Amino acid sequence: MPKLNRYVFTSESVTEGHPDKICDQVSDAVLDAIYAHDPYGRVACECLTTTGLLVIAGEITTTTYVDIPGIARQVIRDIGYTDASYGFEADSCGVVTAIHEQSPDIAQGVVDGAGKKGEGAREVKGAGDQGLMFGYAIRETKELMPLPIMLAHKLARRLAEVRKNGTLTYLRPDGKTEVAVEYVGGRPVHLSSVVIAAQHDPDVEEITVQQDIVAKVIKPVCGKLFNRQTQVFVNATGKFVIGGPAGDTGLTGRKIIVDTYGGHGAHGGGCFSGKDPSKVDRSASYMARYVAKNIVAARLADRCEVQLAYVIGVKDPVSVLVDTKGTSKISDEKLALAVRDVFPLDPGGIIKHLKLRRPIYRTTAAYGHFGRTEPTFTWEKVEKVGELKKRVR
């Protein structure tokens, strides 16, 4: 965050019909389908989509069978691509798969008994890859998330809601949102601008789209934060008819900043969707958020960033860093020691504590992995507050 008294910070989100998010949701739907029958399967599923085509590739080791093309078509159908005039449609698009098993060179460092009979039922013993993962929390919203990204997600979700419930029947699945918030002294004081790109049918007037988006999307979400001084941009090019995969190629994992904190805090670079929790890109990022949120919820800091770093095949993190940005009366070094004592940080411990061997991932693949209230988002719980307070005393 800038070290300025007054500044504007901007974050963006996208709807579930955005090409990148189509890919994220298909990747996680494949993971969920496997986990529904084989919770010890190892999955790394990537997607690419463009006009009339979806390509699914990756490494999957499992004891079960799933109909990957059928899963993909159902996700596309659920999102709303059911009309061939959109340039991409669930039943007519081509679906190409290129799947093979996880490399045994990786498996031997990750799973106990890899290569032996019944390897799919073995527990994780080490990290599935090297890397660094970050978690973040801030006392700025009730979700302990940055305000710009929370508003951007809510606007994106609202766009999908008014499309699906028939409020704005001319809307199509693709869309993007962007929110700029003015800060003074590190606190949000004003909604500076709201940007909405909403895909629509070709026969609707530009002014109709603009007025409806303000009345049915922006005002219900932003409430009192929205005022006459707030700049509004709706479909700034004038129209947005060609969208989805017909307008832009999509890839799994390309919206990692949308998925996390909207640019607040640092990011290790690894995406989440399509990866089972033996991949610390996903599970350790969830744990880092869990740690940071519990520290802020315990009022040990107003802002907290946590970094965890791992080596492939090694159980414990090689580093644990807590940075409260000068908002804690307790030293960051002492907090880091408390974190090591209170939270399980090895991959197997993370998976067990956060209950990650369940088909819960498709829900995470749109509208952010953090700041959510659904009960399956176990990394959003603040159940370690009392233990943390006791430990730092």
Tokens matching residue 266 = 């640092």
pLDDT at 96 exceeding the cut of 80: yes
DSSP state, 364? G
Residues in a beta bridge with 72: none
Euclidean distance between CA atoms 388 and 338, whole angstroms: 7
pLDDT at 116: 47
The DSSP secondary structure of 64-116, one letter per residue, reads S---HHHHHHHHHHHHT---GGGT--TTTSEEEEEEEPPPHHHHHHHBTTTTS
250 is in an annotated binding site: no
137-153 pLDDT, tens digit each: 999 999 999 999 999 99
248 is in an annotated binding site: yes
Write down the pLDDT at residue 119: 43
Top CATH class of 6-13+146-242 equals alpha beta
25 annotated as ligand-binding: no
Q: Is 32 annotated as a binding residue?
A: no
Minimum mean pLDDT range among 2-6, 57-61, 175-179, 305-309 = 2-6
Residue 70 known to bind ligand: no
Q: Count the neighbouring beta carbons within 10 Å of the beta carbon of residue 329.
A: 7
Annotated binding residue 117: no
Res. 1: pLDDT tops 80: no
- Output the pLDDT for position 103: 64
Report the top-level CATH class of 131-140+277-392.
alpha beta
Query: Is 174 labelled a binding residue?
Result: yes
Residue of 44, 43, 53 whose CA lies nearest to 22: 53
Tell me what the pLDDT averaged over the chain comes to.
93
Q: Does the annotation flag 18 for ligand binding?
A: yes
Report the SS3 class of residue 134.
strand
The pTM for the full model equals 0.93
- For 354, the token pair is 């956060």
b/e code 236-269 from CB counts within 10 Å (16+ = b): eeeebbebbbbbeebbbbbbbebbbbbbbbebbe
Provide, rounded to the nearest whole percent, the portion of the chain with pLDDT above 70: 93
5 pLDDT tier (thresholds 50, 70, 90): confident
Q: Is the pLDDT of residue 368 over 90?
A: yes
Residue 390 has pLDDT above 70, yes or no: yes
Residue 114's pLDDT band, with cuts at 50, 70 and 90, is very low
Determine the pLDDT at residue 260: 97
CB–CB of 310/318 below 8 Å?
Answer: yes
- Report pLDDT for 128: 73
Could you check whether 6-13+146-242 and 131-140+277-392 share the same CATH topology? yes
Q: For the chain, which residues make up each domain, given as ranges?
A: 6-13+146-242, 131-140+277-392
Complete edge-to-edge strand list for the sheet that includes strand 6-14: 6-14, 171-184, 187-200, 231-234
Give 118's pLDDT tier (boundaries 50, 70, 90): very low
**Residue labelled with tokens 């640019």:** 263
Three-class SS of residue 8?
strand
- pLDDT value of position 298: 97
166 is in an annotated binding site: no
The amino acid that residue 187 corresponds to is R
254 is an annotated ligand-binding site residue: yes
Q: What is the pLDDT of residue 285?
A: 97
Tokens of 337: 């020691």
pLDDT score at 256: 96
- The residues facing 320 across adjacent strands are 308
Number of Cβ within 10 Å of residue 69's Cβ equals 14
Q: Do the beta carbons of residue 11 and residue 178 sit within 8 Å? A: yes
- Stretch (H or E) spanning 179: strand 171-184
Taking the C-alpha atoms of residue 239 and residue 274, their distance in angstroms, rounded to an integer, is 33
pLDDT band at 130 (very low <50, low <70, confident <90, very high): confident
Kindly state the average pLDDT of the residues 287-295: 98
Judge whether 176 is annotated as a binding position.
yes
Q: Is 46 known to sit in a ligand binding site?
A: yes
Q: Is 175 annotated as a binding residue?
A: yes
